[in-house]
Structure 1
Amino acid sequence: MDRIVRASTLVVFAVLAVVLVVTAYRVLRWVALRIPPLSRAWTRWNASTADSHFSAMSDALRHFDLAGMPAEALRSAGKGIAGEVRLLYQVLTFFIGWGAADLCVQGLKSLYTGHPTEGMRPSALLTAAVLLPILIWAAHYNPTLTRYRFLLLVMSAIRSCEAVASSTSDERHANLRRLDGVCANVSRSISRVHRIHGSLGLFSHRRRAVKASAALVITKLRQAEEQVDTRGDTALTDLATLLVTVANNYAEGKIGQLLPQEQLEGVVAPPNREGLRLAVVVTATAGAVIAGSLLGLSDLAVAVLGCAVAVLVSIVAYGAKSAMARAAELKSLLGF
């Protein structure tokens, strides 16, 4: 009973700490925006950051003679939040990396000494189990971040198209791998567009139509990407055209029609097995933890076993390439 009480106290403390930090940030932001000089500086900072993002993409579009494409909504997107989004994403990513690295170091020390360190005590592990998921959610699913982060991903993919087209023969293979990873991240974000845009309720009847349209858009983008190996730079131009159309329609709020209907004629989306993969990962991890407990393993051994099984099953279910693509996504976003 005492252990349950201590665990509950730690969870409540961790949640309250996060709530206090978020509340303090929002209060300071609200106060700063009410002071005219600070408010003007904040507005200029966000606008200049958004302009730099759009300018980098425009340079890539000019390479393909696509500078005249409709993109006014995309140009104005992020004018009020671009700088803040970039700063928050960098801060959250830093703390996530710091926490994960600390857990790895503490785990290695525990294995080396044969005794759990302070960082591997059940209380510390429980606190990390609460704080890290909250930070990860804030970085990847917070509505303020994800709405603009989607546009950053698409713009990064357009820049990757230009990098491939302008690369030498020695550089092209590496840039193609980078393009492959960025496009995979764009596809994953499109599959979650019904959540990240923030305009659909959890039980909205519109979600099904948006998800069905998103699946067709993903298939169309993948078909265009596959043609790069056969049609070369012409296919890259087509892919960049599709990407800027997707980004502009998203910025206009047309999440149910990211691409015009005529461009999706004859496109058939493959079945979505993301739910099955997630269920396999969760079930295998939970089974490993339960099995370790039944076998009488120590808390440290159970934690290591659960993490190892989660990593291995995730690689089997999603592929090692998915993890590399996530790292490439972070590098691309933070490098803007």
Structure 2
Amino acid sequence: MAILYFLSLDVMILVYFPSRWYKSHHPVDRALSVVGTCAKLRAAEQTERRIRLLQQLDSELRSVERTVRHAWRRRGTVGRWSPLRKEFQNHSGRVVKYLRDQEARLGREDPSVVVSDIADALVSIAENYAAGQMGALLPDELVKDLVAPRDWELLRLSAVLLAALGTGVGAHLLGMTDIAAWLGAGVLIFGLIITFRHDFRKYISIFPGGGFAP
């Protein structure tokens, strides 16, 4: 069970002390990567390719949301007890809401037009993040009237950890002591992949090459 315990501890450390592990340029890389997908979608002519790219865009925007929510922590521009933390949290939440509203337009308007607006917003986010403007990732006139959606990341992560620990403990009680830890670790990694998709590696620091997702 020791392996499972340390895996869970490792994930918790990455959640509560992200600036220690993440590269500071991660939000910029993530945003500009999605801009590339937007460009491909705008240029796509075949319906099947557009559908695949829309699915890819949906997945990548979920990743951008998680990145934006914690961008102010990754940048390391405010202390743990700074009064600016709440302001940055609120602003990042409204930015997430703006991106969701733009994405919702894909079902009502011409995707080639909508993705241009999404790409413009992502470029602004990347530029302002690089400049250290955590409270102005997007212009205030775009987000001031928006209500930030709830952040369920910690709840989902807790569910994955509980499932992994429950699997390990259950296997141990059933007498499968030799593989209990491995079963738990497998559930943990599989749960992270299912829950966070290609962002799952940022919660695990034991992969080859350092293991930290860029």
The one-character-per-residue Cα deviations of 1:125-174 (angstroms, maximum 9, x if unpaired) are 85xx57xx59x96xxx5668522121111111111111100111242112
Query: Aligned letter for 1:158?
Result: V
1:198 to 65, 73, 76: 76
Aligned 8 A contact 1:182 1:325 in 2:
no
Query: Aligned letter for 2:58?
Result: D
| Equivalent residues in 2 for 1:51-130, closer than 5 Å | 126=3
Structure 1 residue 240: Cα displacement: 1.4
| Equivalent residues in 2 for 1:230-249, closer than 5 Å | 230-232=108-110, 233-249=112-128
The residue that corresponds to 2:211 in the other structure is: none
Bigger relative contact order, structure 1 or 2 (CA pairs below 8 A, ≥6 apart): 2
Structure 1 residue 283: Cα displacement: 2.3
The residue that corresponds to 1:148 in the other structure is: 25
Cα distance between partner residues in 1 of 2:28 and 2:99? 16
Aligned 8 A contact 1:191 1:215 in 2:
yes
Q: Percent identity?
A: 27
Cα distance between partner residues in 2 of 1:171 and 1:190? 28
The one-character-per-residue Cα deviations of 1:55-77 (angstroms, maximum 9, x if unpaired) are xxxxxxxxxxxxxxxxxxxxxxx
2:197 to 310, 323, 334: 323
1:226 to 104, 127, 136: 104
Aligned 8 A contact 1:224 1:238 in 2:
yes
Q: TM-score, normalised by structure 2?
A: 0.76
Specify the structure having the higher radius of gyration (Cα): 1
**SS class of match (1:176):** helix
**SS class of match (1:284):** helix
| Equivalent residues in 2 for 1:169-188, closer than 5 Å | 169=46, 170-188=48-66
Aligned 8 A contact 1:210 1:256 in 2:
yes
The residue that corresponds to 2:212 in the other structure is: none
The one-character-per-residue Cα deviations of 1:95-146 (angstroms, maximum 9, x if unpaired) are xxxxxxxxxxxxxxxxxxxxxxxxxxx9xx85xx57xx59x96xxx566852
**SS class of match (1:231):** coil
Cα distance between partner residues in 2 of 1:171 and 1:209? 40
Cα distance between partner residues in 1 of 2:30 and 2:74? 13
Give the direction of change, closer, same or farther, for the CA distance of 1:326–1:179 in structure 2 (3 Å limit).
Answer: farther
**SS class of match (1:158):** helix
Give the direction of change, closer, same or farther, for the CA distance of 1:278–1:322 in structure 2 (3 Å limit).
Answer: closer
Aligned 8 A contact 1:246 1:259 in 2:
yes
Cα distance between partner residues in 1 of 2:154 and 2:199? 20
Query: Aligned letter for 1:190?
Result: V
Structure 1 residue 216: Cα displacement: 0.7
Query: Aligned letter for 1:150?
Result: P
1:161 to 22, 38, 45: 38
Aligned 8 A contact 2:94 2:144 in 1:
no
Q: TM-score, normalised by structure 1?
A: 0.51
Structure 1 residue 312: Cα displacement: 6.0
Structure 1 residue 265: Cα displacement: 3.4
* Structure 2 residues without counterparts, runs of 5 or longer: 202-214
Give the direction of change, closer, same or farther, for the CA distance of 1:176–1:325 in structure 2 (3 Å limit).
Answer: farther
* Structure 1 residues without counterparts, runs of 5 or longer: 1-121, 328-336
Count of aligned pairs between the two proteins: 195
Cα distance between partner residues in 2 of 1:205 and 1:144? 24
Aligned 8 A contact 2:24 2:75 in 1:
yes
The residue that corresponds to 2:166 in the other structure is: 287
Cα distance between partner residues in 1 of 2:82 and 2:37? 35
1:253 maps onto 2:132 in alignment:
yes
Give the direction of change, closer, same or farther, for the CA distance of 1:321–1:305 in structure 2 (3 Å limit).
Answer: closer
